[in-house]
Every structure is written in C-alpha cells, then in structure tokens.
Amino acid sequence: IAASPTPVPEGIANATFRLDWRALLGSVTPVLFVLWLLGIVILLGYGVFCCIRVKRLVKNAIPYEDNIWLCEGLQTPFLFGWRNPQIYLPTNMEEAQIQYVVEHEKAHIARGDNYTKIIGYVLLSVYWFNPLIWVAYVMFCKDVERACDERVIGGFSPEDRKGYAEAL
C-alpha cells in the first residue's frame, strides 16, 4: 500500500524562506560581546600577572647607581616601571657591557617607551581578535628596540658601535 502524501497548506507551498538577519545578529551579538570582553580580561590579567612576577623577581635587587639596579637571576637587562622607570641589570654582566646597556635603556626612558609599550599592549588587549594587531604589536616592539639602538649609536665611533653590538 502506497502512503498518500501529506497535504501542504497552500500559503506554505509557494513561500520562500528568508533568513532574518536582525534576529540572528540579535542572538549572536551578546555571545560575541562576552567573548570579546573575556579576551580583554584574559590579556590584561596576564599583563598584571607578568608585572607582579617581575616585581617579585627584582625585589632583592641591589642599587648600582641612580635608577640602575643589579639583580641576581636575570637573563637580560630591562626597564621596569611606569612613573619612575628603573633599569635592571643581571649581576653577571661585564663592566664594559654595562655602559652600553645602560645607554640603551636610558634611550628607552628618553623616548617614553615605558608609556608607549603600555598603550600598545592595551590596544592589543582591546583588539585581540584581529591577527593584524598581533603582527603590528610584534613589529612595534622590534621597531622600539631598533629606534633605541639607532639613537644610542648615532654619535658613536665605529669601534664603539662594535662594542655596542657585542654588548647587546
């Protein structure tokens, strides 16, 4: 016995289906907003966590001169701080290298890189979903370092440039 087809109401038989974009966006937008905020919170939280970790690492640093500190266990010199940036150097650095490294870090202070890096990281945190922002942030960080290098070696003799390159 063959089954008889179910009758289709006349209004539906000729209907075309349309996707209601407003309803779809209305239901997806809150989810995307929460994901976006979650990404911001995670990245900013990670930044705060890293700052706390660095603070703990340098808490036993010993003063070298002015705003320069020597710290046991550091792998590389760096600048840390927002309002009163401090230069931290590993204790195992040679005296000849210290001069060049300090000049480099002072160039960061003079250029205000401690502020621009924070602004760059906040922008990265807000626009974390865009892969081009990640590329731009990495390139920005490299450019900051190159700009400091160029500022420092601008008045150096060729011999001093060689010493600077070896120190860094």
Looking at residue 154, its amino acid is G
pTM (2 d.p.)? 0.78
Q: What was the pLDDT predicted at 9?
A: 60
Q: Is the pLDDT of residue 23 over 90?
A: no
- The answer on pLDDT for 8 being more than 70 is no
More confident residue, 159 or 15: 159
With a cut of 80, say whether residue 157 has pLDDT above it: yes
Q: Where are the alpha helices (DSSP H) in the chain?
A: 10-13, 21-57, 95-111, 113-126, 131-153, 158-167
Please compute the mean of the pLDDT values over residues 64-84 and round it to a whole number: 92
Q: 12 pLDDT exceeds 60?
A: no
Q: To the nearest 10°, report the CA torsion of 54, 60, 64, 68.
A: 20
